[in-house]
Structure 1
Amino acid sequence: MSARDADRSAAALATLTGDLYMAPDLDTLLEQTLRFVSVALTCDCAAIVLWPGHGVSRWRVAGSDSRATRAGYIRYEHGEGMKTVRSRPVMVGDTAVEVSTELGLHSVMSSVIRARHHDIGVLDVYARERSAFRQADQALAGALATHIAIAISTVTTAETLIRAIDAHTAIGQAVGILMERFDIGSDQALVLLRRHSQDHNVKLRTVAADLVSAQRHSTRSSHRAAQLPG
Structure 2
Amino acid sequence: MAESHGAVQDRHIRLFAEMARELLAQDTVDDVLQRISELAVETVKGCEAAGVMLLDRRRHTLETPAATHEFVRASDRAQFECDEGPCLDAARHEQSFRVDDMAAETRWPSYRPRAVELGVGSMLGFELYTHDSTLGALDLYSTRANAFGPDALEIGWAFASHAVVAIAAAQREATLRSGYETRQEIGEAVGIIMERRRLTSDQAFAVLRTASNNTNTKLREVARSVALTGEIPEI
2:14 counterpart of 1:11:
yes
Given the alignment of the two structures, is residue 100 of structure 1 paired with residue 104 of structure 2, yes or no?
Answer: no
User: What residue in structure 1 maps to residue 184 of structure 2?
Assistant: 169
SS of equivalent to 1:184: coil
Give the Cα separation in 2 of the matches to 1:40 and 1:161.
31
SS class of match (2:141): strand
Letter in 1 for 2:182: A
- Compared CA separation, residues 150 and 212, structure 1 to 2 (3 A): same
Identity fraction in percent: 25
Alignment of 1:71-110 (within 5 A): 71-81=75-85, 84-85=89-90, 89-93=95-99, 94-95=101-102, 96-101=112-117, 103-110=118-125
Q: Deviations over 1:88-146 (max 9, x none)?
A: 73321133221112x21210011111358998311111112111111222111101111
* SS of structure 1 residue aligned to 2:56: coil
Superposed, which structure 2 residues align to 1:75-224 within 5 Å? 75-81=79-85, 84-85=89-90, 89-93=95-99, 94-95=101-102, 96-101=112-117, 103-115=118-130, 120-215=135-230
Cα distance between partner residues in 2 of 1:198 and 1:210: 15
Deviation at 1:195, TM superposition (A): 1.4
Which amino acid counterpart does residue 80 of structure 1 have in structure 2?
E
The count of corresponding residues between Structure 1 and Structure 2 is 212
TM-score (normalizing by structure 2): 0.80
Q: Distance in 2 between matches of 1:136 and 1:117?
A: 32
Unaligned runs of 5+ in 1: 217-230
Q: CA deviation at 1:205?
A: 1.0
Relative distance call for 1:212 and 1:29 in structure 2 (3 A) is same
Larger displacement relative to structure 2 (86-95 or 206-215):
86-95
Relative to the length of structure 1, the TM-score reads 0.81
Q: Give the SS at the match of 1:135.
A: coil
Q: Judge which range, 82-91 or 20-29, deviates more.
A: 82-91
1:146 and 1:117 map into 2 onto residues whose CA distance is: 19
> Counterparts of 1:25-104 in structure 2 under 5 Å?
25-41=28-44, 42-52=46-56, 59-61=62-64, 62-81=66-85, 84-85=89-90, 89-93=95-99, 94-95=101-102, 96-101=112-117, 103-104=118-119
CA distance in 1, matches of 2:183, 2:76: 37
How far does residue 207 in structure 1 lie from its aligned partner after superposition?
Answer: 0.6
**Whole-angstrom distance in 2 between the partners of 1:3 and 1:117:** 40
1:227 — aligned with what?
none
